[in-house]
Amino acid sequence: MMDPKISGAFPGPDGLARCPWALSAPEYLAYHDNEWGRPVSSLQGLYERMTLEAFQSGLSWITILRKRENFRRAFAGFWPERVAVFTDRDIKRLLSDPGIVRNRVKIVAAIENARLVTDLGLRFADMVLSYRVIGRPRPVAGERRATSPESIAMARELKSLGFRFVGPTTAYAMMQAIGLVDDHLAGCFAPPPVWPEVNPTPETPPPPEPDSGCD
């Protein structure tokens, strides 16, 4: 194992070295080990990550993680074509839901962004995934990354298409979350993202569930 003072990674409860933030809460540990930095290419997955990162703006990520299942129920499983048809009635429902972050501007942005994702289809996924960063070394202790040239360019392109609440910092957080950039610390046990050389494919959402949030 690399020296934690150099790498920044520290041993977890099982002895494996991890990014320190992963050790601060059980939810962080599970998210770090099983999701963060792993490739996501589906429209549903990309829309969910983009939306959650937008809701996180100004808040702690642990708040979003602890409300994630509530968000999924409230936003119809984050299937963009379902959220795209939300109405004023849904906005009222969401604003009265204590299980999510009740911010009208972010809620409306999530619905409008869903409409754009639905209209663009696989073009949206292709655009987001085109910003993958290859070959950059993992950060070391004390090296903090909040934006990058790629996230600035992605945010600019998303804004030009009409997307809201996806600035350079939010875009970079999404890039980290979906494996477009490998920002696990040097020495962290998590493997680098492995992207299959296939294009995103259309998905068929499952039938609505009683608590899916669809009226």
Radius of gyration of the chain (CA): 18
Strand intervals (E) in the chain? 10-11, 17-18
The answer to whether 157 is a known catalytic residue is no
Cα–Cα distances in angstroms (integers) from residue 49 to residues 11, 16, 19, 212, in the given order? 28, 27, 20, 18
Residue from 28, 36, 47, 61 carrying the catalytic annotation: 61
* Cα distance between the two ends of the chain: 52
Can 61 be counted among the known catalytic residues?
yes
**172 labelled catalytic:** no
Compute the distance between CA of residue 168 and CA of residue 148 in angstroms, rounded to an integer: 8
Backbone angles phi, psi at 192, to 5 degrees: -65, 155
The answer to whether the CB of 52 falls within 8 A of the CB of 184 is: no
Q: Name the nearest CA neighbour of 106 among 43, 149, 167.
A: 167
- The single residue of 28, 36, 53, 81 carrying the catalytic annotation is 53
Return the active site residues.
31, 53, 61
